[in-house]
Structure 1
Amino acid sequence: MIVDKKNDATGVLLRNGHIVLPDKTYVGDLRIRDGVIAETGQLEPEEGERTLDCSGCYVLPGGIETHTHLQLESMGTVTADDFETGTRAALYGGTTTVLDFATQFHGESMAEGLARWHKKAENNCYIDYGFHMALTEWNADLKSEMASIVEGGISSFKIYMAYKNNMMLQEDEIYDALSETKRLGATVGFHCENGLLIDVLVKEAKARGNTSPWYHQWTRPPVFEEEAITRLETVNALLHADHYVVHLSTADGLDAILKARSSGIDVIAETCPQYLLLDNTRYGTEMSEDFEAAKYIMSPPLRDKSHQEPLWDGLACGDIQFVGTDHCS
């Protein structure tokens, strides 16, 4: 881990900041001693203590980024941010822990994928980091390996219900995987889209020459997220295994989650800033071929603005439990 070798033995006093606590926010001071918050309140500097004026600033715990894809090999390229640039940017924004998706690619073990991710991150991070384990296939060898991965400290896996012939798992495989994670006390995050129908619509769009960024959203409509969540919860109703839905993007999907909860299924939900703040107007029109529109290609795609208010409301009332970026640029 990249660290600052400077040692403030006498501590640091952050003065006049907006101190954010679980139950209130107030203007005050916060003392750090030996790397630990020692006290908060209206404090006076101690002899030799370094002080920082935080007037106008919020003083709150470092953020935990739950969903990144740093230095990920995909579609013949690698995502732009590696662990050095990605964690540096995270720290600049107040995030002090990143949970990245180590990925098992076709034909390799999870241990091989995990070792590769450890090598990428080692001595290249400005902040704390951890890993989920993403699966791109399912077989008996991977199932038998899960226990050793959990024993090694990885408690969360990822399964894709999209990307046919690349990462997508079917319901029988999902059932088998959830059975094993339940036995091991682990959890699984699910990318919920109907991969089979996406594949059909993509082929149709390409055959018609509809390849501008605008068409991306129409190959992945909101109902595909809702259907996949409903299908996932149908499987999990047989098991009641710990799991969550990643990057929830639609009001329809949230409705499916609430329906599952009303039937006694405990499902956690994550959404992302892009679905709370951006909408599908970023894709331009059918004729938009400029790269500016292509910058917003992501899966799930940006949605109509009407989905934003239900997602914000879900986040405010606790129906959506956390926000991760799905940073994969």
Structure 2
Amino acid sequence: MSTVIANGTVVTAEATFSADVRIDGGVISAVGRDLGGPGDTVIDATGRHVLPGGVDVHTHLAMPSFGTETCDDFSTGHLAAAMGGTTSHIDFCIQPHGASLRSALDLWHAKAAGRALIDYGFHVAVTDPRPEVIDEITTLPELGVTSIKLFLAYRGTLQVDDAALFSCLERARDSGVLTMVHAENGDAIEHLMAGAIRRGETAPKYHALTRPPQLESEATGRAAALAEVLGAPLYVVHVSCRGALERIRDVQSRGAPVTAETCTHYLFFTKDDLDRDGFEGAKWVCSPPFREAADHEALWAALRDGSLSIVSTDHCPFQYGTQKVLGRGDFTRIPNGVPGIEERMMVLHHAGVNGGRITLQQFVSLTATAPARRFGLGGVKGSVTVGSDADLVLWDLTRDHTITAATNHGAIDYSLYEGMHVRGVPVTTLRRGEVIVDGGRLIAAPGTGQFLQRRT
């Protein structure tokens, strides 16, 4: 039996047009007029826009960090994602020191087993780059993993040095694997943080002040230069400031294969949010930290001109009441990370499309089509085209919603966007042709999400 989404307005990264979408076996089999037939299941999309389900390529579910673990797992995180119109994501598998990359992946597969509601893939974060581990990068594509991540910050836990970065870039290049980089100068940051603590500067605002934008810009330029020397593809995660954008545009202008993302929250908040009354600013502690209002417009401009091609979330949620408070009296102990997997598409649509900063087609590209193509899922996810998985969202451009933690669906006890009014929300979400959310109700069962074997 086929399913037909009828009478909707289809939106792709290239065009907007009236059409039906026919689904067979979980795959889009036709896009056109009058596609319904006897016996078909018909979903009436009159007055709705039919968008590809969101693809979030930067998440941290059930991840150990700062002596605790992110509060959303592959059950609550996926529920929040589906409610917000995201139908697939790529999570970061963090290599424990002393472990192999394969064993790290086994650990993350176990985290998802029986819980997944949306489809998911993995990046592997290489944190212990022993020679045998660097050799192991060549085996990742056969495991369905075509991207690695390296941290240039968090000295003593996640940070790697330039020699490891260069070696991993080279090996990844030769294996068809994309290297991602967290670009901040971890050595300088550690020095600045230690000095702040000695002076008794312990409040959340000092997290931003000890991670200045110059240290993000420097690390971005350094990683991009090494990638350019090798001709190795590089993807810079969570770009937050104008200086880093300048380094990225510089190498892009010479044809270097460097792409980059920003995250939703960097378009809305500033370092002043870390200086809220009491300890409230801890909710806004993430790395890189928030910058200045002028950086917002620079990021929006980069999304328009393609210097930044993807908007992800870096969803890394820690409860305020039980986890963020671990850093009360010492900002260096505040778990780094903020939530956003449910709000991403709504707030980006409202501020971007309704705000006249991007078009509806650009919105689709930034949240679905471009991330799918960049991370080996082109032709499978992220597009309303024949042959793609029927991961679809029926979007009501006229419906109003006020974001609150109380009405969100993850395990987090706050929202950065508390009280924000948006117009335009997802009302029905389909994953591989199956309705998983309808009218704010969960339809599908946990454990029905599938692992995504990505291509090089």
The normalised TM-score by structure 1 is 0.91
**1:174, 1:243 → 2: CA distance?**
11
Say which is worse superposed, 74-83 or 275-284, in terms of deviation: 275-284
Aligned to 1:6: none
Does structure 1 residue 109 correspond to structure 2 residue 97? no
What is the CA distance between 1:313 and its match in structure 2?
1.2
For this pair of structures, how many residues does the alignment match? 317
- Asked whether the 8 Å contact 1:131–1:154 carries over to 2, the reply is yes
Letter in 2 for 1:266: P
Say which is worse superposed, 230-239 or 40-49, in terms of deviation: 40-49
**1:77, 1:52 → 2: CA distance?**
43
Larger Rg: 1
Aligned to 1:221: 212
Correspondence list, 1:290-301, <5 A: 290=279, 292-301=280-289
What is the CA distance between 1:45 and its match in structure 2?
4.2
Of 104, 120, 129 in structure 1, the residue corresponding to residue 120 of structure 2 is: 129
- Asked whether the 8 Å contact 1:30–1:43 carries over to 2, the reply is no
Mark the runs of 5 or more structure 1 residues left unpaired by the alignment.
1-8
What is the CA distance between 1:153 and its match in structure 2?
2.1
Does structure 1 residue 321 correspond to structure 2 residue 309? yes
* SS of corresponding position for 1:237: helix
Q: What RMSD, in angstroms, separates the aligned Cα atoms of the two structures? A: 1.7
Moved over 4 A (4+): none
- Asked whether the 8 Å contact 2:6–2:36 carries over to 1, the reply is no
Letter in 2 for 1:298: C
What is the CA distance between 1:67 and its match in structure 2?
0.6
Of 49, 53, 61 in structure 2, the residue corresponding to residue 58 of structure 1 is: 49
**2:29, 2:173 → 1: CA distance?**
39
CA 1:83 to 1:111, structure 2 compared with 1: closer, same or farther past 3 Å?
Answer: same
Of 300, 305, 312 in structure 1, the residue corresponding to residue 293 of structure 2 is: 305
Mark the runs of 5 or more structure 2 residues left unpaired by the alignment.
318-456
Equivalent pairs: percent with the same residue?
Answer: 38
Does structure 1 residue 185 correspond to structure 2 residue 173? no
* SS of corresponding position for 2:158: coil
Of 29, 45, 48 in structure 1, the residue corresponding to residue 39 of structure 2 is: 48
Letter in 1 for 2:12: L
Of 282, 289, 292 in structure 1, the residue corresponding to residue 278 of structure 2 is: 289
Deviations 1:248-268 (A, max 9, x none): 111110001111223442211
**2:21, 2:88 → 1: CA distance?**
21
* SS of corresponding position for 2:75: helix
Deviations 1:25-48 (A, max 9, x none): 134432323322233344264223
- Asked whether the 8 Å contact 2:228–2:257 carries over to 1, the reply is no
What is the CA distance between 1:289 and its match in structure 2?
2.7
**1:88, 1:282 → 2: CA distance?**
28
Aligned to 1:4: none
Say which is worse superposed, 162-171 or 139-148, in terms of deviation: 139-148
The normalised TM-score by structure 2 is 0.67
Of 239, 242, 252 in structure 2, the residue corresponding to residue 261 of structure 1 is: 252
Of 266, 272, 281 in structure 2, the residue corresponding to residue 275 of structure 1 is: 266
**1:62, 1:94 → 2: CA distance?**
6
**1:12, 1:151 → 2: CA distance?**
34
Which structure has more RCO (C-alpha within 8 Å, separation ≥ 6)? 2
- Asked whether the 8 Å contact 1:213–1:289 carries over to 2, the reply is no
- Asked whether the 8 Å contact 2:220–2:244 carries over to 1, the reply is yes
Does structure 1 residue 201 correspond to structure 2 residue 159? no
What is the CA distance between 1:237 and its match in structure 2?
3.1
Say which is worse superposed, 166-175 or 55-64, in terms of deviation: 55-64
Deviations 1:86-120 (A, max 9, x none): 11211222211110111101121111111100111
Correspondence list, 1:229-248, <5 A: 229-248=220-239
**2:48, 2:271 → 1: CA distance?**
33
